[in-house]
Homo-oligomer: A and B are copies of this chain.
């Protein structure tokens, strides 16, 4: 999944930029999901006194409201972006106002000061009101998404890559960078996505109940050795063969 982020102060036009990007991406036949960070301490999507709110207040910590045309899964805690993304299976996911997950970023700004406040190595485009005044800032294209959405989405197609795992450096560090730094290196063309061993070709993929679990190379190796240690004793095994294992029934939600 390719993930990008739009950052900027409140009122800088983030949502409008995202609307334009999503509209154009879907026009180009991509599936799109989004994640919106809400910086408002009292945010609560459910209203006081609804049945679901009553379930929650009685002690249910995960409550779903299912209607005829929507299904709202309400976690009563803040999930990590990694955990949220496990629910997604889209070509592109757009993050609005998320500060703790590093992916290629578009800044939305009125002026140079607002650009400077959000500028880092992950920025590959700038948009918002400032795009009426300049076309480029420190080598980064400044694009108006109302008049020039094609240029912006061409750039997204060219620049945005499958998200890095955003593991803490202490847990991985295999590539020699943090995920934030590697994002910058990839955007500048000095490294590429395969420099991250997680999600690249020779890796071990693990899904639990359909959700992908990231593993650092060390853990991938343990799992590969554990599996191959058994499987290589069986008739039909070939060295370097692709191995697929499924434990649990295909339809099982609820063993």
Partner pick for A241 among B32, B83, B224, B248, CB 8 A cutoff: B248
A163 and B78 within 8 A (CB): no
Q: Which bucket holds chain A's interface residue count? A: 35 or more
B41 and A68 within 8 A (CB): yes
Contact partners of A15 in chain B: CB under 8 A: 51, 54-55
B242 and A243 within 8 A (CB): no
| Stretch touching chain B among A151-159, A180-188, A230-238 | A230-238
| Stretch touching chain B among A16-24, A109-117, A132-140 | A16-24
A31 and B208 within 8 A (CB): no
| A206 on interface, CB distance cutoff 8 Å | yes
A226 and B224 within 8 A (CB): no
Partner pick for A246 among B51, B65, B66, B205, CB 8 A cutoff: B205
Most chain B CB within a 10 A radius of its CB, from A19, A89, A90, A247: A247
| A223 on interface, CB distance cutoff 8 Å | yes
Q: Which of A60-81 contact B (CB under 8 A)?
A: 60-79, 81
Distance between Cα atoms of A8 and B15 in the complex (Å): 42
Q: Which of A11-39 contact B (CB under 8 A)?
A: 14-15, 18-20, 22-23, 25-26, 31-38
A55 CB to closest chain B CB (Å) equals 4
B203 and A249 within 8 A (CB): yes
Residue ID in chain B nearest A82 by CB atoms: B253
Distance between Cα atoms of A245 and B163 in the complex (Å): 20
| A169 on interface, CB distance cutoff 8 Å | no
Contact partners of A25 in chain B: CB under 8 A: 59
A55 and B94 within 8 A (CB): yes
Decide: A70 near B76, CB < 8 A? Known: A231-B206, A246-B243: yes
Decide: A86 near B229, CB < 8 A? Known: A63-B33, A224-B247: no
| A170 on interface, CB distance cutoff 8 Å | no
Most chain B CB within a 10 A radius of its CB, from A61, A64, A76, A89: A64
A215 CB to closest chain B CB (Å) equals 7
Distance between Cα atoms of A208 and B219 in the complex (Å): 22
B247 and A203 within 8 A (CB): yes
| A119 on interface, CB distance cutoff 8 Å | no
Q: Which 4 A-B pairs have the closest CB atoms?
A: A26-B59, A242-B248, A43-B67, A199-B255
